[in-house]
Every structure is written in structure tokens, then in C-alpha cells.
Structure 1
Amino acid sequence: MAEIVVSLALETIRDLLLEEVRFLSGVSTQVKEVQLELQRMKCFLEDVDRRKHDEAIVRNYVKEIRHLAYRIEDVVESYAIQVPLERRRNFKDRLKRFSCIFREAGVAHKFGLQIEDIKQEISHLTAILDTYGIKAALARERSEVRAESKKWLRQTFAHDMEEDFVGMKGDLSQLVALLLDERRQHRIISIWGMGGIGKTTLARKIYHQGDIRRGFQAFAWVCITQECNPKDVLQDILRQLHSTTEKKAEFLSMGGRELVEVLYQVQKEKKCLVVVDDIWKEDDWESIRPAFPTAESNSRVLITTRKENIAKVGFPFSLKFLSKDEGWELLQKKAFSKRQLRERRIETDLMEHVGREIVQKCGYLPLAISVIGGVLSERDSLDAWEIVNKDMDLYLKRGKNNEGDGPIQQVLSLSYDDLPYHLKSCFLYLGQYPEDMEIDVEEVCLLWMAEGIVSFKDQGRHESLMDVAQRYFGELVSRSMVQVRVDLITMQFKSCYIHDLMRELCLEKIAEEEFFHIMDFRGGKHLKLTPPMYPVSVHRLGIYEYDSSSGEGIIQESTEKLRCLFFHTWHIDTTLSKEINDLGRLNLLRAVKFEKTNLCGTLVHEAFAKLVLLRFLGLKSCIMEELPSCVCKLSFLQTLDLRGSYSEPYTLEIPNVPWKLRRLKHLYLPGKYHIKGGGMLQLQDLDELEILSGFQSGESEMSSLNELNNLQCLINSTLSGNESLSQIIDNLEAKSLQMISMSVVDCCFNSGQGFTLLRKLMMTRNICELDVTGVTISEFPEYEFNFCLNLKILRMVYCTIEKDPMKTLEKLPQLRCLHLCQRSFLGKEMVCSEGGFPQLKELCLFDLPSWETWTLQQGTLPCLSTLSISRCPKLETVPYGLRFITSLQTLKFHRMPEDFLQGVRKGGVDFDKISNVNSVYIFDD
């Protein structure tokens, strides 16, 4: 994987050469010579990777190339920083400028010596290859050919849960029966088996199963990591079992003994199901066991674990491996798309023999079969399958004498080794995140871009780098390398997590490639998950809950060449004064991420000013006096993330400097901000800006939007008043944005001009999400063909609509989520017609005081999954047509009239209308 490091070094040199006059004046020839050597190294490494050379001498050579590439990058970037800095310091004084020229000459001379030394080292390594007769691709330059983007053969795979649930339907039925059978004494039931066998998958199915949802009153799901904190676990369970905010706040101040007593009592008073997922240590279970009643309670606990001794604390239910037929069925579902199977584009009969051999070598383990299925999804010929089959033999032999997961870990390694080199670094990047953490997909993509992992060469004609990064991520998903959560409304990747076995593989490869270092201070101890700090340079560092009192400093000799520094914190009061003050010494940093960190009282202005090569600056949910004005000096900055950041009192002060960041591609503004010194935020010179989040009409120059020629996504924007809304609509009409999400507040659409403006808003292309608050609308205009063609989410609050809005809204072709809340409808009757709302999945009707009747014609709302009705005092009954909506999975009624609630309860006059719904929640308070 050294080719990743070489590629990143090439990207760095390419960026610096683009600004040769500023950064590499006088030495560009030498830099281009090194660039050529790096390109030759890359060719050689790609050849090694393709041929899977296994000789020790080649592996050692690859390691040497990796260190050499890092060294080249260090030398070039250090020069690029040092010379422009000297020029800025001495530009005003002519005499000092002459002395600066001599110093520059000295720096350039030193740089030349370092480059010559590097070239000699390359010659030495090349001679070694010649001596051993294995020189492969160094002698020739091969032009890099990029194929078109691979099609995602199975786009719906990641969220098509039911199809991929193979071989455990009998287990599901047995466990549901055990949990619901009140005659049995099994208060605790344990699902146990080896990693990757499907324990968590089965537990999730049980947790959401209809009979379980109707049979219990309260639910909680907790995941126990290998670093368990009992108090946090008990608080998490209690927060899920209680619905009131006041109670949730009380739990934070309770001690461990009190938490145990309260949780014990809750489970005696209510019938609760608590899932405790992935327990590794018996001591962890013993630390929370007293909180669970074992007698005189109808509550149940469901445990998942790899350890038999832990499973024996309850009724142990051992999961078995898949049968031969089940294994082959699962492999087909992972390797072939539904379209391929339907159209018989793949000769599955010819591949079955090889496929069954592969399943056997996977040990009939679901995770291993899924992963190999991801590899095979990229191959549609029998010959390609046979190659994979032979490679599996090789990897299984290597793992024969391994401990732990043994050959299965080797199967997972095969999936990793099969990744293209750019996807390997993408996968390894996920290893920086703590175990069982839900990972923000958008943030990961931004970090990949900051590091240069996302290549410009992969960009299509109308693609942004974010599109390319999302495509990279989709490839990881299609190969089952990561588990992904998809936003059911927008159908985009939202977050992901890595299975335990995959994370173990990821950490193993990180250590092998010296790709990342992690320092873990959680629980009052310092645990290094990846190799300890070597004498060689550390280039990426992730820190969990840093504790400055540990005496373990971040700034060390080995960290002075850091490229990426990430702080993972869980508490908003985290303070890193000394570390931030020293940050300026790490002047090669490309990505820095703080989160939930108090930056007040630190020398953050001075530190950030020195990070001139920074591409990514993440300050999400941080406290600071103001955004440092020195960010305008970060000329390479691509991403500035200020979401959730604030100063007292909860409004961040921003200097009017972002317009100077000419390379900025992604700007995420906080929820509330104002401009230092007054005026409006200027953005007009950001020619490369692709994503703008948090734009506010009251604080930002409206006309500057029209000059953002590369803008593709305008999200979480707030527009106040008719004039602002009219201006932005005019600006957006001239652009072809991929996504617009906005909040419209304090507008009036009742007058003639206002009604025209409403029609204009509804005809704006590519609005995907719209929040309308405090807006006066007497009625919606008659539906027209080009109304809201891409609108997926519509939320309306305090909108005082008098006439039934469903007549128009039900015709919006892409609408998937609709909320009408807090007096947004003042009429008495709503009607949803046959064929209406063809895509709607979620409908929320809240605080509609005049609403009395609701008619649902048969054939309306064919995709509705979740329906919530709250605080509608005059609605007397659920509509008869609800029985025809077979897609409905979840119903929620909150603070409805008692007669209404009596009707929908079991035995009530309306119960037959909702009896087919899996989960029905009734809240009286």
C-alpha cells in the first residue's frame, strides 16, 4: 500500500507546482525531477500490487519507498513554507529584503542537497532490485488509464435488510417466542457465536419485530464496547426507557448505586426489553447485572456475545453457521444484483460450483460470505470467480496457524487486498474512529479530499470532488467493507460503522502500513491502539479524550511532521490550551479536527496562522470568542466547518474574511452568527465553492450568491421576509444546483404579490428540503406540472393554512416526508385522494386545533411507513382508509382525546383499522 503514500506525495507536489512562483521559485526543476522519480515508483508499486509479489526483499523495498515518499513530501513542503514566510517578514524593508535573499539562497542550497541525497537513495534502492533480478516497472513510464466509473450493480443492497436476512428465520421465531412467553423463567436470553455470525443482525430483527413491539411497553438498546463504562451504560438505558426530558436530566447527576436501583425499579413497573449488544468481558456484565430483575418482573434482557461463559448468565441461544444452500443463497444476493438475476445476464448455473466452493472456504460464516460477495460483485465471468477462489486458497493457507479468528480474518484480508489502492486508504481512514462509533459519511469524504486521496483524475465531466468521494464510499459499501445507514427520505448515505472483525482488520493494516497512530485516554488511562510512537515520523494522529495531566505530550519529535490531527471528545468542556498554543509548530498539517472543545483563552489565532498548508479545519460544536481572522491566510483551505460552534451567548462572531479563501470548496456556517464590526458576510470571490451551509439572509450579502459560479449545494439556509426570498429565488433560477435545503420564515403569501411569490417558490428547481415557519398562507395554489419536482421533505410550522393543502401537496411527485405542525392547518376537513402522495413515507400531523375529519381514499399513500398524530383535540376517529395502507409500519398517537385513544386500543371500535400495523405507540401524557 505504499503506492498510496507515493500518490499523496505526488498530489502535494502537483498543488505546489500550480503556485510555483509563490512556493517553489528557484527549485521547481529539482522538484519536477523528484516528481518524475515518484511517478516511476508508483508504476513499480502498482505492478507489485497487481502481481501480488510475496518475496521478503520486495516487501522490504516497498516499505523503504513508503518512508522515502514521506521524506520527499516533508522536504518539499518544509521549503514551500519557509521561503514565503521569510519574504513576508522582510518585504517592507529593502535592506532586510537583501539579507532575506541571502537567507533564501541558503535555504535553497540546503534543499538542493536534500534532494540530491534523496536521488542517491533512490539509485541505491534501484540497484538492489537490479542485483536481485526483480526490477519490474521502474524502467518504463506507464500512462495511467482510468476506466469509467464502475456502476453500482447493487445500489439498494445496503438498506435492503429483508433480502439479506438468510438462514435465521427459525432462530427469529424461537427467540421471539422465548421473549414473549410469560410462563418461562428466562428473564435473560443470550445470543452467542463467533464474530460475523449474525448475532447483532438477528437482535435488530427481534428488536423491531411486530409482536415484540406490541408485547413490551419500553425499549432500550446499548452496545458494550471493549472499554465499558458501567455508569454510562446504565444512564443510556434509563434515558431510552423514559420519555420525559426532566427524568433524563436527573439521571446525569445520579451515582452508580442510585442508577442501579432506579433502573431495577423501572423494569419492575413497566414491561421492558433491553438489548445489551456485544459483551466481551464477564466483569462488564457483572458490573451492570444488579440493575436487571431476575424475578417478579415481566421485563426481559437480550444479550449478544462471542463468549460462551458470558452467554451462560442467561438462557444461551447458540447461533449456527449457515447451511450449504443458505450460504450459496446469501452469496448470490451479495454478488448479483436483482436486475442481473431477473434478466439472466449472469450465468449463475455455471458459477454455482465455484460459488459453493467459495462458501465452504468461508466457513459458512455470514460476514465472510457477504464480504467475498462484495468482491465477486465486481466480477461477472466464471474465470474471474475462479481467480478469486484460488486466491482464497492462498490466504486460508497463510492463516492456518493463526490464533483468534484464524482463516476468517484471512478471508477479510482478501477483500482488503482486492481493493484498488485509493480505496485502501479510504478504508484505513475509517480506523481513526472509536469502536462502535457511528461515522459521519460526509465528514469522511471531506477528509479524504483534504488528504488528496480523492483524485481529480476520477472526476467526470459534471462531477465535483464530493461526488467522486461519495462514489468511492459507495464502492466500499458494495463490497461489504462497511455497514451503512441510508437516510430513508433522501436515500443518501448518512452514516456508517465497521463490524468488529472488519475494524480488527483495519487496525491490523494500519499498524502494518504505519498509516495512522491512535492515543486513547478514555477511562483515565493511556492506551495506544496502533503502534507506539516510533522514532520515525508519525503522519496521522487520532486522540480519544485527551488528558493533559497524563504527561503524554502531543508535540514530540516523532509528531513534528504530522499531516492530520483529530481530537475525538465527548464532553463540551474539554480544554486543550497548551496543545492548541503549540499547534503552530506542526506547520505541515493538512487536516485538523476539534469537536466539543473549549477554545476560549487559547492562542488559537497565532496557532492557525502558521498552518498555511491546511486543507480541512473542523471546529464543530466548539466554544470560542470568535472565529480567528487569521483563517484568511490559509490559502489551501478547502473545508471550514463551524456547525454548532458558538461564543457567549450562543452566537458566533465571524470576521468578514471567508471571501479571501479562494480555494474554499465547502463552507459550513454555524446556526447563529453575526459579522464582527457589522455589515454583511461577503462570499462573492469564492469561485470554487461547491457546498454552502448555514447561509442567513439577515447576516449575509444576498447578491454574492449570484457570483458563486461553482455552487452545487445550498443547504440549511435561512431566508427571512418576502424580499429576501424573492432575491434568492431570482439568483437560484440562473443556477443548476444539485441540492437546495432552506428555511423560510416571517413571509406573507396572502396578498397578490405574496401568492405570486409562493408559486415562484414552488416552481424553483432542486429544492429538496423546505421548512416554512411563521408564514401566512390562506391556501396553496392549484398544482402545476413543474411544482416542486425534487422536493422530498416539507415541514410547516405556524402557517395558518385555511383550506385543505392536501389537494396540492398530494401531487408532488418526490415528496417523502410531510410535517404539518402547530396551527399550520386551521380547516376542519382533509382529504387524501386515490393515487395521492405516491412517494410519501413519513407523515406528522401535530397541534391542529380545528381539524375534525380525515378521509383516506383507497389507493392513497401507498408507501407510507410512519404516521404520527398529536394534539388534535377535535379529531374523533382514525380514518377507515387506514386499513388499506399495507406499507404502514409505525403509528404514534400523542395527547389525543380519550375517546380517540380508547377507539384505537385493543378491543376498541377502531382497532381493526390499525391491527395490521407492526408498531403502535400511544402516549397519554
Structure 2
Amino acid sequence: MASVLDPLVGSCITKLQEIIADKAVLILGVKDELKKLQGTMKQIRCFLDDAEQRRIKESAVNNWLSDLRDAMYDADDIVDSARFEGSKLLKDRPSSPARNSTACCGISFLSCFPVIQKRHEIAVKIRDLNDRVEKLSKHGNSFLHLGAGPTGQGSTSKVRETSKLVQPNLVGKEIMHSSKKLVDLVLAGKERKDYKLAIVGTGGVGKTTLAQKIYNDKKIKPDFQKQAWVCVSQECNEANLLKEILRNIGVYQDQGETIAELQNRIAETIEGKSFFLVLDDVWKSSVIDLLEAPIYVVASSVILVTTRDDRIAMDIHAAHTHRVNLMSEEVGWELLWKSMSIIEEKEVQNLRNTGIEIIKKCGYLPLAIKVIARVLTSKDQTENEWKKILSKISAWSESKLHDDIGGALYLSYNELPHHLKQCFLYCALYPEDSTISCIIIFSSFCGTLHFT
């Protein structure tokens, strides 16, 4: 929540800075109160970094952040109200070059009373808000540590340039052997009318990476006339799945087509042809049932499924099931330093023991190892820096994080610069496997994102 609050507090500070000298606000006589409010907000902002670090483990911090959020929303409303009411009063004032700064000079007391009343109402709201925010600041000061400034400024260490390669980062002889074996099975399966394979393993173990390697293999493309890759995910929409297959095979469907119509269009496109389909992250075997009718007309089809559930492989009658196991220490260490775009192991050989401990904390999962590698890339390659990361992974792993969020994954988010945390949280609002337009991201964050 602190990542969300930081820009909100910052926005209020900026808005206060803009209106403190505004004539529309000066007429209300609340300049000193607004300056005091701005100063308190600046102090609170310095606590947010520590609050972000501790909010998962300490409910008191979460409660403080909730109270602060409510106060900032009220502050935003009151500042806007002050500007609006001040503008109205400024507009209603009699125009006279000889008048002094008193709003009611030369006007009867009765006609001046509404002005005094409005000024009093705004002043009371701002004073009450000041007391409320000051209490929050004192409360935060009692159990939070001051930071150097706004949260999430990231490391000042030199960032190593990342690799431009888009191919999956496969390491270890075993996985290379598995890749070759599965490619051979796909090619052999083409000789059958209907052939299915399954890659099974826990989340983050590398099923998708292995499937990508197979799908992009130079032997596959020339052998199949049509290919499609579809991310299925847990919340599977049947119509969207069929539309994605059509898009992959170069057919753009009309709006409002029924499932039967979409199935017919797939059948028309792949009829008499060889077809290779990858269904990534399958949670229900009914997905295959949806494709039985259109695939019936092909000359030959090979379907490769990745799933966490062994029962899916059995339900679809997979001819071969390949299980992806957790990485060994040696392979995990190789993946760690290669994912940091390090060319030779000797560059970090002195950090090997700490690196192995990090791999253990990552649960030997490739996804977690790659994520931590990106964090380590932005740090100095020293024993002290790596041990700091190790202790943070341990702390987050033992905290009250949701079961689906490992300590390594949360740490990678926590290490993001402030502006990227905001962008990440915004993207997290989209459903899984959604296509997000770069134009939308840019228009929403053009003032804060830095593109390279």
C-alpha cells in the first residue's frame, strides 16, 4: 500500500505548493495552516519506505497506512474545496483599486457574514485535518524509521546491461536433453492423426520455458503447415481461446461469432493440413474437448500441453508425459549467473556459496532464480550485497505473504524503483494473460516512466 500512497502524498504536497500563493486561497486566510500541512506531509513521506518493508509482517503498520490513505483522500478533497470556495469569494469581491486586503471592506456586516462563515468553515476543516495528519506523523515516528526520501528509489549501483537474446535461457545437460527428446517426439507424432504430449510440473519450475524451446525449434516450423501457441490459464474463456487460435493461424474473426462458428472457421483453415498446437498452463481437460471437432479434419495434429496437474495429462490421454523436476544446486547456480548476463562463472566464483544459499531460498525454482538474478544485476557484486539479498529473501519467505507469492518474487517487486512499482500495480489490474497496449501504459505513466 505504501507504493500507492507515495504518489498520493506527493500529489497532495505538489498541490499545496501550487495553491499556497494562489489568490483564491489567500482570501480564505489559511496560508499558514496549509504550509504547516505541507511540512507534515513531507515528513510522513519519509516514513513510507520503512512502512513498505514492514507492512506484510506487522498489522500495526498496515493500520497506519490505511489511516494515512483516508487522510490523504480527505486532504485532496479539502484542498480542492478551498480552491473552489476561494475562487468564488474572489469573483464576488467588489472591484476597487483603493480597497485593502480585507474581504468585506466597504460592505455591510450582514452581506459580509456569508463570506466570514465560509472562510471559517474551510479554516476549521484544514485545522482539523492538520491535527489529524500531525497525529499520524507522530504515530509513524514512534515505530517507523525515517528514510532518505520517497520510497523505491532503487539501488545507486551500476546496472549491468542485460542480454538482447529472446530465446529461453536453458541451462544444464538434463534440460537440453529433454528439449531434444520432446522435439523428436513432436516430429514423430506428426505421422499420427492425433498425438498429444504433456509437460507437467509445479508452478515456476520451467514448463513454459521448455515448451517455448520446443515450439521455436528450427526443426518444427518446416514440418508443420500451421502452428499456434495459446496461453490458457485458470480463468479460461472458450470463445477467447478459439479466437486466439484463429489469430495464430492468420485468420481474423468477426465480432459476435458463436463457439460453433469459431470451431468451423478453425476446421476450414486447418483442414487437410498438419497442425502443431501448444496449450500453455491448462487447468481443465475440457479445453481439449473444445478442440476435438475442428482438429478431426486435419491430416495430422500434435498437441503439446503444459499443466501443473498430472490428472490433466491422464484425462487428455497424452501419449507421453514429461515431468519437469526442481533444479539441482549446480544447474540453479548456472542459471543464476547466466541470467545476470555474466559471460564467465569466474566473474562471480567468489560468491558461489552465497549464491547456492540464495538458490535454496528460491526453492530451486527457475522462475524465482531468474527474478532474483535481475535484482542482483542492479547490485554491486560483493559478498555483503548478496548476503543482504539473501537475508531479505529469508525475511519475506517467513512473513505473512500469500502462499502463491514466494519471498523471492515479492523481493523483486520491493526492489523496483518507485515509478515502476506504480506501473506494475497498474498492470496487475488486468486479467492473467491479457494483452496490454504500450500506448495505454505510456499515456498513463508518461510523466513517470523512463524508457531506454
TM-score normalised by L of structure 1: 0.42
Distance 2:330 2:50 in 1: 38
The SS at the match of 2:306 is strand
Q: 1:108 to 1:309 in 2, by over 3 A?
A: farther
Q: Is the 8 A contact 1:87 1:100 kept in 2?
A: no
Query: Which residue number corresponds to residue 171 of structure 2?
Result: 166
Query: Which residue number corresponds to residue 219 of structure 2?
Result: 211
1:40 maps to amino acid: Q
CA drift at 1:216? 0.6
CA drift at 1:322? 2.2
1:307 is aligned, of 299, 306, 309, to: 309
Query: Which residue number corresponds to residue 32 of structure 2?
Result: 29
Q: Is the 8 A contact 1:190 1:311 kept in 2?
A: yes
Distance 2:200 2:154 in 1: 44
CA drift at 1:363? 1.6
CA drift at 1:76? 1.3
How far does the alpha carbon of each residue in 1:409-444 deviate from its partner, in whole angstroms, 9 at most, with x for none? Answer: 232112223334444323212212332123234532
Q: Is the 8 A contact 1:392 1:414 kept in 2?
A: yes
The SS at the match of 2:406 is helix
Query: Which residue number corresponds to residue 299 of structure 2?
Result: 297
Distance 1:303 1:436 in 2: 16
Q: 1:189 to 1:206 in 2, by over 3 A?
A: same
Q: Is the 8 A contact 1:9 1:73 kept in 2?
A: no
2:183 is aligned, of 158, 170, 176, to: 176
Query: Which residue number corresponds to residue 330 of structure 1?
Result: 335
Pair 1:232-2:244 in alignment: no
CA drift at 1:85? 6.0
How far does the alpha carbon of each residue in 1:352-407 deviate from its partner, in whole angstroms, 9 at most, with x for none? Answer: 0010111122122111001111121122210111122122222333369x65x4xx
Query: Which residue number corresponds to residue 526 of structure 1?
Result: none
The SS at the match of 1:277 is strand
Q: Is the 8 A contact 1:220 1:274 kept in 2?
A: yes
Distance 2:16 2:31 in 1: 9
Distance 1:364 1:333 in 2: 15
Query: Which residue number corresponds to residue 365 of structure 2?
Result: 365
Alignment of 1:74-223 (within 5 A): 74-84=77-87, 105-125=116-136, 134=143, 136-137=145-146, 151-155=158-162, 157=163, 159-162=164-167, 164-167=169-172, 168-181=175-188, 182-183=190-191, 187-223=195-231
Q: Is the 8 A contact 2:193 2:299 kept in 1?
A: no
Q: Is the 8 A contact 1:197 1:366 kept in 2?
A: yes
Q: Is the 8 A contact 1:272 1:299 kept in 2?
A: yes
The SS at the match of 1:210 is coil
Query: Which residue number corresponds to residue 101 of structure 2?
Result: none
Q: Greater helix percent: which structure?
A: 2
The SS at the match of 1:398 is coil
Distance 2:160 2:268 in 1: 51
How far does the alpha carbon of each residue in 1:501-522 deviate from its partner, in whole angstroms, 9 at most, with x for none? Answer: xxxxxxxxxxxxxxxxxxxxxx
Query: Which residue number corresponds to residue 413 of structure 2?
Result: 416
Distance 1:74 1:428 in 2: 24
The SS at the match of 1:275 is strand
2:22 maps to amino acid: V
Distance 1:445 1:254 in 2: 32
Q: 1:16 to 1:387 in 2, by over 3 A?
A: closer
How far does the alpha carbon of each residue in 1:880-913 deviate from its partner, in whole angstroms, 9 at most, with x for none? Answer: xxxxxxxxxxxxxxxxxxxxxxxxxxxxxxxxxx
CA drift at 1:321? 2.2
The SS at the match of 1:439 is coil
Q: Is the 8 A contact 2:336 2:370 kept in 1?
A: yes
CA drift at 1:49? 4.7
Query: Which residue number corresponds to residue 18 of structure 1?
Result: 18
1:73 maps to amino acid: D
The SS at the match of 1:228 is coil
How far does the alpha carbon of each residue in 1:145-189 deviate from its partner, in whole angstroms, 9 at most, with x for none? Answer: 98997643123x3x4234723243222212211111145676122
The SS at the match of 1:166 is coil
Q: Is the 8 A contact 1:83 1:104 kept in 2?
A: no
How far does the alpha carbon of each residue in 1:821-855 deviate from its partner, in whole angstroms, 9 at most, with x for none? Answer: xxxxxxxxxxxxxxxxxxxxxxxxxxxxxxxxxxx
Query: Which residue number corresponds to residue 355 of structure 2?
Result: 355
Distance 1:335 1:17 in 2: 43
The SS at the match of 2:428 is helix
Distance 1:124 1:242 in 2: 62
1:326 maps to amino acid: V
Q: Which runs of 5+ in 2 are unaligned?
A: 97-103
Distance 1:274 1:53 in 2: 42
CA drift at 1:13? 3.4
Query: Which residue number corresponds to residue 470 of structure 1?
Result: 450
CA drift at 1:116? 1.6
The SS at the match of 2:422 is helix
The SS at the match of 2:395 is helix
Q: Is the 8 A contact 1:334 1:373 kept in 2?
A: yes
Query: Which residue number corresponds to residue 891 of structure 1?
Result: none
CA drift at 1:288? 3.6
Q: Is the 8 A contact 2:397 2:408 kept in 1?
A: yes
Distance 2:417 2:440 in 1: 22
Distance 2:250 2:4 in 1: 49
1:65 maps to amino acid: L
Task: Determine what percentage of the aligned residue pairs are the same residue.
Answer: 28
Pair 1:72-2:69 in alignment: no
Q: Is the 8 A contact 2:12 2:75 kept in 1?
A: no
Tell me whether 97-106 or 358-367 shows the greater mean CA deviation.
97-106
Q: 1:230 to 1:53 in 2, by over 3 A?
A: closer
How many residue pairs get aligned? The number is: 430
Alignment of 1:635-714 (within 5 A): none
Distance 2:230 2:23 in 1: 54
TM-score normalised by L of structure 2: 0.80
Distance 1:352 1:47 in 2: 30
Query: Which residue number corresponds to residue 317 of structure 1?
Result: 322
2:198 maps to amino acid: S
Distance 1:242 1:445 in 2: 28
Distance 1:442 1:149 in 2: 29
Distance 1:148 1:386 in 2: 15
Distance 2:64 2:37 in 1: 18
Pair 1:270-2:277 in alignment: no
CA drift at 1:126? 5.4
Distance 1:423 1:438 in 2: 19
Q: Is the 8 A contact 2:275 2:298 kept in 1?
A: no
Q: Is the 8 A contact 1:230 1:288 kept in 2?
A: no
Q: Is the 8 A contact 1:86 1:100 kept in 2?
A: no
How far does the alpha carbon of each residue in 1:443-486 deviate from its partner, in whole angstroms, 9 at most, with x for none? Answer: 32442356xxx3xxxxxxxxxxxxxx125xxxxxxxxxxxxxxx
The SS at the match of 1:433 is coil
2:66 is aligned, of 63, 82, 87, to: 63
CA drift at 1:15? 4.2
How far does the alpha carbon of each residue in 1:35-88 deviate from its partner, in whole angstroms, 9 at most, with x for none? Answer: 100111122333445688944434432332232223222321333345436766
1:79 maps to amino acid: A
Alignment of 1:171-570 (within 5 A): 171-181=178-188, 182-183=190-191, 187-242=195-250, 248=252, 254-264=257-267, 266-293=269-296, 297-312=299-314, 313=316, 314=318, 315-338=320-343, 341=344, 346=347, 348-380=348-380, 381-398=382-399, 403=403, 405=404, 409-449=406-446, 454=448, 469-470=449-450
Q: 1:357 to 1:135 in 2, by over 3 A?
A: closer
Q: Is the 8 A contact 1:193 1:306 kept in 2?
A: yes
